[in-house]
Amino acid sequence: MSPHPVGQIAATLRTSRSVLIVCHVGPDGDCIGSALALALALDALDVPCIVGSADGVPETLRFLPASARIVTVPPADPPDASVAVECSTPERAGTFAAALVSARTVVNLDHHLMNSQYGTIVYWDTTAAAVGEQVEEIIRALGVPVTPAIAECLLAAVVTDTGVFRFPNTSPKVLRLAAALVEAGASTHRIVEQVYEARTPGSVRLLGQALATVRLTPDGRAAWTVVTPPMLADSGALPEDTTGIAGALRQISGVRVALMFEQTGDGIRVSIRSRDGARSNVIAEALGGGGHAGAAGFTQQGTLDDVVALTLKEVHKELTRPPS
């Protein structure tokens, strides 16, 4: 990491003739909220700015008024500067990867555990609860006041990446940031209602089917469920409605690792959620994926039974590793 990346980033962005802010594929609330907050701050400085997301904006985040500005097609011309938001490698930007690295200055912002440290300025802080914390520092360095709209985007980032202040990453720092954002006009209530309590009937039915068929390992320390294409079709749910299913299974007493296996056209997609020291990312990395200690994932080819067996073997390894 450079000595003062926040100051460097602010200086670069402020003087850029065009900025491209890029989300990772399958963007979450932290990524979208942070990208939009930074874009709104650059608007205030009259720095031309595009926000790109190869996969667009999830339905649950479209309540953020600024989300309408997000484009899904990369710009034709190389931007003056680009900012990668939580892209461990440029490839995580999907169809925006080439545009991202075509910029004169590439800013690499991330708080995840793995990052290849590409780019001109790397601001990689694994102690941040959300990349939104890092973006708030950049906005402060830019000298832009936190408007209600910026506060809403940053609070959406912080609320979603802390699981509404319930994950172990809920630090005093992130709670104080949330306090300042509420003071600036945002509301946790409104964000939670939009992100978590505006579900479609289909997504509720799909969650129901997945919970109703939960299975546990004999020791009760891992729980898993399967989502099949007929379940999606019968419930009327969308593919993105699988979000939250593994997390719901993690609420079972004694469960340290919760898994959702989803049959997709690309193979079996596995979502892992863990707690009590079990590391999701270690399980995912063993099978070609990645993520955080509490949440990770990967995709495997093979039959459902094979992928379940393979995954449960890695889960068992992680749950029985000697204490370090």
* Nearest partner of 282 among 318, 312, 238, judged by Cα: 318
**Contact call for residues 38 and 66 (beta carbons, < 8 A):** no
* Nearest partner of 78 among 121, 122, 19, 22, judged by Cα: 19
The yes or no reply on residue 214 touching its own copies (CB under 8 A) is: yes
- DSSP class of residue 45? T
**Contact call for residues 111 and 87 (beta carbons, < 8 A):** no
Interface residue with its own copies among 48, 65, 143, 201 (CB under 8 A) is 201
Smallest distance, its own copies to C-beta of residue 159, A:
8
Residue the block writes with tokens 């990772």: 24
The yes or no reply on residue 165 touching its own copies (CB under 8 A) is: yes
Smallest distance, its own copies to C-beta of residue 253, A:
4
Smallest distance, its own copies to C-beta of residue 25, A:
26
The yes or no reply on residue 69 touching its own copies (CB under 8 A) is: no
Binding segment for its own copies (CB under 8 A), chosen from 24-32, 94-102, 184-192, 304-312, is: 184-192
Of 8 and 160, which has the nearer Cβ to its own copies?
Answer: 160
Binding segment for its own copies (CB under 8 A), chosen from 77-85, 98-106, 215-223, 260-268, is: 215-223
The yes or no reply on residue 312 touching its own copies (CB under 8 A) is: no
Smallest distance, its own copies to C-beta of residue 146, A:
13
Smallest distance, its own copies to C-beta of residue 60, A:
10
Read off the tokens for 176: 């104080």
Q: Which residues 6+ apart lie within 8 Å of 206 measured at CB?
A: 227, 231, 232, 235, 237, 241, 242, 245
Radius of gyration of the chain (CA): 20
Q: Which of residues 218-277 bind its own copies (CB under 8 A)?
A: 220, 223, 235, 248-253, 275
Torsion angle of C-alpha atoms 218, 222, 228, 231, degrees rounded to 10: 90
The yes or no reply on residue 192 touching its own copies (CB under 8 A) is: yes
Interface residue with its own copies among 25, 44, 114, 164 (CB under 8 A) is 164
Alpha-carbon gap, residue 76 to 66, rounded angstroms: 23
* DSSP secondary structure of 63-75: TSGGGGGEESS--
Smallest distance, its own copies to C-beta of residue 148, A:
14
Chain residues binding its own copies by CB under 8 A are 164-168, 170-173, 175-176, 178-180, 182-183, 187-189, 192-193, 196-201, 204-205, 207-214, 216, 220, 223, 235, 248-253, 275
